[in-house]
Structure 1
Amino acid sequence: MKAFLGTGLLGANFTKALLKKGEQVQVWNRTALKAKALEAEGAIVYEQIADAVKGAAIVHVALKDDASVDEVLTAAVAGLQPGAMIIDHTTTSAEGAVRRTKAWKERGYTYLHAPVFMGPQNALEGTGFMMVSGDQEVIRKAEPILSPMTGKLINFGPEEGKAAGMKLIGNLFLVTFTAGLADTLALAKALHVSIDDVSALFESWNPAMALQARLKKIGGGNYDQPSWELDMARKDTGLFLQTAEQAGVKLAVIPAIAEEMDRWIEMGFGKKDWTVIGKGSTR
């Protein structure tokens, strides 16, 4: 018997996938109607959290944040069977994941944080990426449970909370990537270039292919042989801003990048490779 606490878009489809594989799943959700909708799929729905986890050796959690995970698990204690494994797919702070791992172990339970790069369709199909880190014996026991739920289970080693950190890093990239695309399309609008033309450009020229090389460039710390000088990159950035302003189009992230470029130029790095603006971010 398994339990799933939190049946939003991700949790609901995880539950459906488990049910299709013949698993018995007990569910609870703060908004009861979302859980109730899973009855037709074969889920056993409970109004009380403690009732939903009774008899479940594995308790999956997919909630909003640290506070909601703590609140829900505290309410679940009364129904948890001795030695139950709690697997938390919520995006949380790394500190929260470390704290909960320790606290639940002290109470006689296993808590494993397993955040995901998976959308609802991935959860239903068992595709995408799931991450874990921490006690390798715990992960070894959890692997047969988690691997069928995802396309790839990534083990980041024995450091507690590292999977949570990697999830935040990935999400930050997605946020900045999307914000960058929004600015790209805003500049295209200012230049009267259609989204279809922008799409055609990226079909021929794929800057994502340079991601690994760019990471190595920033992390390597050698900016003395520029492929694009910071002064020149700042000149082009000024053109972005000028074009957008003249067209009455707002750019969200480029103004902040321009300020950061100016800071590095003022420190004397104008003739260095423009990736020097990432120098302070590396260890």
Structure 2
Amino acid sequence: MALGSRGEETTVRVSVLGTGAMGAGVAQSLLRDGHEVTVWNRTAERARPLADLGATVAADVADAVAHAQVVMLTLFDTDAVVDVLERAADGAPEDTVWVQASTIGVAGTETVVQLAAQHGITLVEAMMLGTKAPAEQGTLTMLVAGAADAVAVVEPVLDAVSAKVVRAGDRVGQGTALKLAANAWIASITAATGQSLAIASALGLDPQLFLQAIEGSASDSAYAHTKGAAMIAGEFPAQFALDGLRKDIGLITAAARQAGVDTTLLDALGRVYAEASAAGHGGDDIAAVGTAF
């Protein structure tokens, strides 16, 4: 159970809107920590399994937020966030704090900030750095931005779902900027792992030798071993769907280009992930990018 500022146990009424892989995992971690959780999903069947864990499953998105102290938006893209926010905004109490946790890029975040202001919504953002398993285990890294008093309200929620919280700034949008930088790294290191394994194999080596070579060195990466093992096995159960990262690469590229950052590497990454998706791996884990090599 999360502790409040005076050390007492704090139960928060949380509504999670969007129960895909990340939203469902977050809901599970909140329930395990003892919070009162209501969930809603556009496809209701995806939310129903959470009822067995103690969640209230709402059929209508406005009903889902009716008694919420905190609302978490864990949706796929800007269109989904805008649609849900417009449908649910007037259904929540005035003092509810809304947590934008969807990766929607710089322009999408600006749109949501403006929409929240129109509805008088208190908005913070908490970008989720991690995949399905950390969401379920409550070990995400949360990249948080927003006014200090609003962030303080959602601290018990952040504690329940994360192993680490990084304060990106006081302005909603700064968390998004940090998430884009982090996902650029994830996209790069995953693709680079696939490339190195493919080179080793093509040159007549057991690709496992590449992972052995970097292990424990300054160039080592736990991510390379996790994704590399999946690549070698040729098995890609989705922790982070490849098409989801493709979407993020597009957002990163747009933001970088607007900010004057060269996009040569991002453009190449976009092509490589697109190849893997076109080959039928869009719903597989991002490790499937290795098939493009």
TM-score for the superposition, normalised by structure 2: 0.67
Instruction: Confirm or deny that 1:120 pairs with 2:132.
Output: yes
Q: Does 1:38 align with 2:50?
A: yes
1:208 offset after TM fit, Å?
Answer: 4.5
Question: Pairwise mapping of residues 164-243 of structure 1 onto structure 2 (< 5 A)?
Answer: 164-203=176-215, 205-208=217-220
Query: Match of 2:61?
Result: 49
Q: Match for residue 9 of structure 1?
A: 21
Match of 1:70 in 2: 82
C-alpha contact (below 8 Å) 1:133/1:161 kept by paired residues: yes
Residue by residue, what CA displacement relative to the aligned partner does 1:108-160 show, whole Å, maximum 9, x if unpaired? Answer: 22111111112222122221300112323322333233223201111012243
Identify unmatched segments of 5+ residues in structure 2.
Answer: 1-12, 222-264, 270-293
CA distance in 1, matches of 2:56, 2:216: 51
Task: Tell me the alpha carbon deviations over residues 36-70 of structure 1, each in whole angstroms, 9 at most, x when there is no partner.
Answer: 11111111112211111111121111110111111
For the Cα contact (< 8 Å) 1:101–1:110, is it kept in 2?
Answer: no
The 2-side partners of 1:134 and 1:50 are apart by: 24
Aligned-partner residue type, residue 85 of structure 1 = V
Task: Report deviation, 1:169.
Answer: 1.0
Provide the identity percentage.
30
- Name the aligned partner's letter for residue 122 of structure 1: P
Aligned ranges 1:100-119 → 2 under 5 Å:
100-119=112-131
Mapped to 1, the partners of 2:164 and 2:100 lie a distance apart of 17
User: Match of 2:103, SS?
Assistant: coil
1:114–1:131 contact (8 Å) kept in structure 2: yes
Consecutive unaligned residues in structure 1, runs of 5 or more = 210-252, 258-283
Contact 2:124 2:172 in 1 (8 A): no
Query: How far has the Cα of 1:96 moved from its partner?
Result: 2.5
1:149 corresponds to which of 155, 161, 169: 161
> Does structure 2 conserve the Cα–Cα contact (< 8 Å) formed by 1:66 and 1:96?
yes
Structure of larger gyration radius: 1
State the one-letter code of the partner of 2:103: T
Deviations 1:63-86 (A, max 9, x none): 101111111111112422222111
C-alpha change, 1:204 and 1:82, in structure 2 (3 Å) is: closer
User: If the length of structure 1 is used for normalisation, what is the TM-score?
Assistant: 0.69
SS in structure 1 opposite 2:120?
Answer: coil
For 2:172 and 2:57, locate their aligned partners in 1 and report how far apart those are by CA, in whole Å.
32
Match of 2:30 in 1: 18
Question: What is the rounded CA distance, in whole Å, between the counterparts of 1:47 and 1:142 in structure 2?
Answer: 25
1:195-219 deviation line (CA, Å, top 9, x unaligned): 221121112534148xxxxxxxxxx
User: How many aligned residue pairs are there?
Assistant: 213
One of 139, 146, 160 as aligned partner of 2:151: 139
> Once the two structures are superposed, what CA deviation does each residue of 1:80-116 show, in whole Å capped at 9, x if it has no partner?
2222111121111123324423431342221111111
Query: Hey, what's the Cα distance between the residues in 1 that align with 2:96 and 2:216?
Result: 52
| Deviation by residue 1:150-183 (Cα, 9 ceiling, x = unmatched) | 0111101224311101101111111111111111
Query: How far has the Cα of 1:16 moved from its partner?
Result: 1.5
Superposed CA RMSD in Å reads: 2.2
Distance in 1 (CA, whole Å) between partners of 2:127 and 2:32 is: 22
